[in-house]
Amino acid sequence: MAKTILTGDRPTGRLHLGHYVGSLKRRVDLQNSGEYKNIYIMIADAQALTDNFDNPEKVRQNIMEVALDYLSVGINPDLSTIFIQSMITELTELTFYYMNLVTLARLQLNPTVKNEIQMRDFKSSIPVGFLCYPISQAADITAFKADVIPVGEDQLPMIEQTREIVRKFNHIYDEVLVEPKAMLPDNQVCMRLPGIDGKAKMSKSLGNCIYLSDSAEDVQKKIMSMYTDPTHLKVTDPGHIEGNTVFTYLDAFCKPEHFERYWNDYASLNEVKEHYQRGGLGDVKVKRFLNSIVNEELEPIRTRRKEYEKDLNAVYDILVQGTDKAKEVAAATLAEVKQAMKLNYFEDKALILK
C-alpha cells in the first residue's frame, strides 16, 4: 500500500526545538528514507486564525518563517510537498460536511482542546472555529488520504477524532476515506518537550521556546536561564533530575559521542545524573554542556536558513508550486466525497431529476 504522510504547523511563530524533536526531525528522516510516495507538509494558517482571528498580521508574517524553518531543517521540496492551508478551499468544504459527523459534546471532551482553551483564557467566549479545529484537521488529513501522521503527543486526540470521522463517513456514505495513524517520536521525552521555564510544553503561545533560528548567543542565554531544581541551591546540595528541564533536554539531545567532544570528565549521561543527584555538580556546568550540544545541532540549520533567506522569491515559488500540487489532490478527494454523498447533481441528472 502506498504510504502517505501529512503533517503541519501553525504559522503562529517560528518553529522551535519542541517541533524539531517532536515532529520535524522525523519528517526529514521519513522523507529521506524513500519509503513514502507522498509527503505533504502544511502551513496551517486557517487553523492558526481560529485563535488569532484578531491578529491576521501575525499569522501572515509567520508563513515565510515556517517555510524557511522547513527548508532549513532539510525538508526537500523535490521530495515533499509544502503548501498553505487556506489556499486550498476544498479543505474548508470537507470540514463543513464532516461537521455533521461530530457532536458538540465530543469536541468539548477533546483533552488537547480543553487544555488550549484554558491556556488561552477564552472562558465562555470560545470561538466556534477554535472548537471545531479538530474537524478541520480531519479534513486536512483525509483530503490527502494520509495514513501516517508524525506528531507530538498533544496531537493524539486529533488523530483519534479523525479516525472516528473516517469510520462514520465510510459507514454512512461509502468507503472513500483512509484511517490515519499517529507516529510518535521513539524517545519518550521528545513526545512533549517542556519549555525552558519548566512548563509542560514548549509552545509558541507560551513564549518559552528555543527557536531553530535563534542565534548561538540567544540559545546560550536561554539555556543559562533554564529552570532546573529549585532545591539545588549550593553546588554541594544533592540535586533532582526529575522535572529538571536541563536533564530532560539532555535526554532528548545527548549522544555518547558528545562526551568526547565537550565534556570528557564523564563517559555517559548516567554518570552526570548520578553525580548531580549525589551533590557536588553545579547547574552551570551541566548547562554549558547542553548549550554545546544544542548549538551543534542548530548550527547547520542556521547556515541553511541564511542561504534560503538570500532568495525569498524562490521560497515563495516553492509554496506556490506545492500548493498547486496539493490542491489537485484535495480536489480529487472532495469529488469522491461528494459523489459518495450524492452531491454531484450536475454530473448525474438522475440524482435530482424526478
Binding region for ligand ATP (CB under 6 A): 9-10, 12, 18-19, 22-23, 151-152, 154-155, 192-193, 201-205
Q: Which position's Cβ is nearest ligand ATP? A: 22
204 vs 287, beta carbon nearer ligand ATP? 204
Give me 52's grid cell.
Answer: 488569532
Give me 335's grid cell.
Answer: 469529488
CB of 84 to ligand ATP, least distance (A): 14
Q: Is 331 exposed, middle or buried, given 0-12, 13-18 or 19+ CB atoms closer than 10 A?
A: middle
CB of 197 to ligand ATP, least distance (A): 12
Are 85 and 42 a contacting pair, CB within 8 Å? yes
19 vs 287, beta carbon nearer ligand ATP? 19
CB of 65 to ligand ATP, least distance (A): 12
CB of 155 to ligand ATP, least distance (A): 4
Q: How far apart are CA 22 and CA 308, in angstroms?
A: 24
CB of 19 to ligand ATP, least distance (A): 4
What DSSP letter does each residue of 81-116 carry, written as one string?
Answer: EEEEGGG-HHHHHHHHHHGGGS-HHHHHH-HHHHHH
Please list the alpha-helical segments (H only) found in the chain: 17-19, 25-33, 45-49, 56-73, 89-98, 104-109, 111-119, 128-131, 133-143, 156-172, 216-224, 245-253, 257-262, 269-278, 283-309, 312-340
Cα(first)–Cα(last) distance of the chain, in Å? Answer: 41
CB of 126 to ligand ATP, least distance (A): 15
202 vs 319, beta carbon nearer ligand ATP? 202
28 vs 281, beta carbon nearer ligand ATP? 28
203 vs 333, beta carbon nearer ligand ATP? 203
Let me know how long the chain is: 354
47 vs 142, beta carbon nearer ligand ATP? 47
22 vs 180, beta carbon nearer ligand ATP? 22
What residue has cell string 521540496? 77
CB of 211 to ligand ATP, least distance (A): 10
3-state secondary structure at position 182: strand
The DSSP secondary-structure symbol of 23 reads I
